[in-house]
Amino acid sequence: MPNAQTAKGEGSLVAATAARIRERLIAGGLPPGSKLSEAGMAGELGVSRNTLREVFRLLTGQRLLTYIPNRGVFVAAPDEAAVVDIYRVRRIIQKGALSSCTPGHPALARMREVADRSVTAGEKGDWPLVGTLNLEFHRAMVGLCDSERLSAAFELVLAELRLAFSQVQDAADLHAAFIPLNAALISALEAQRIGEACENLETYLVRSERSVLAVLSRRK
């Protein structure tokens, strides 16, 4: 029987491996609906198949994977109801983050860096990168809260959000409009115009949610 230290080590490995897969989801490396090979993923991640099964169970509970009996494990594809709930959570967490903003916070520098890189990526027409940078921008925004728990919770939101975005075939149409919105938002924050930043965020969230929902509705 494994002792407590062994069990703790296995739990840490499961958590670390799940975090690696979530990061791949956020980066768009695992498209929604794709089947995950247990043997292939275990070899790629350097873990046992038993450990990977625990990881799959964890990520399934987090709504990032879906288990279909007799077929296997698949990357989740958020539906319209899931998207509405994702944006509900975003409003609560991200508006709270903006209200927590203080002058000179390190997260502001990170947001500015990512916003500037988004402009460059957009000029090059690299829309998948723009999508990834957009998520990084909002991840940095939640860092304004200085809360490990909120940041950890938001990681799940980001992963689900990328899976929703990945169902939109025209990435340019989805992401182009938000490059200037993010730039305006960070400029307002740097000037400590918090109310204006919150208005910019609400504009972004409304447009983004409507865009994704419209695509999912048409696909139905």
Cβ atoms of 141 and 111 closer than 8 Å: yes
Q: For CA atoms 61, 62, 63, 68, give the dihedral sign.
A: negative
* Residue 145: DSSP 8-state: G
Architecture field, domain 4-75: Orthogonal Bundle (1.10)
What are the distances in angstroms from CA 142 to CA 37, 94, 152, 172?
Answer: 33, 6, 10, 25
Over residues 101-144, the pLDDT tens digits come to 999 999 999 999 999 999 999 999 999 899 999 999 999 999 99
Q: What are the residue ranges of CATH 1.20.120.530 in the chain? A: 80-219
Distance between CA atoms of residues 134 and 42, nearest Å: 30
pTM here is 0.87
Residue 4 binned pLDDT confidence (cut-offs 50, 70, 90): very low
Q: Cite the DSSP H helix spans in the chain.
A: 4-26, 38-45, 49-61, 80-99, 106-123, 127-142, 148-165, 171-175, 178-190, 194-219
Q: How many CB atoms lie within 10 A of CB 214?
A: 12
Mean pLDDT, the chain, rounded, equals 91
Average pLDDT over residues 185-202: 94
Over residues 25-51, the pLDDT tens digits come to 999 899 999 999 999 999 999 999 999
Question: Class for domain 80-219, per CATH?
Answer: mainly alpha
pLDDT value of residue 170? 76
Looking at the DSSP assignment, which residues form a beta bridge with residue 65? 75
Tell me which amino acid residue 39 is: A
Q: What are the residue ranges of CATH 1.10.10.10 in the chain? A: 4-75
Distance between CA atoms of residues 32 and 162, nearest Å: 9
Over residues 138-179, the pLDDT tens digits come to 999 999 999 999 999 999 999 999 999 988 877 788 888 889
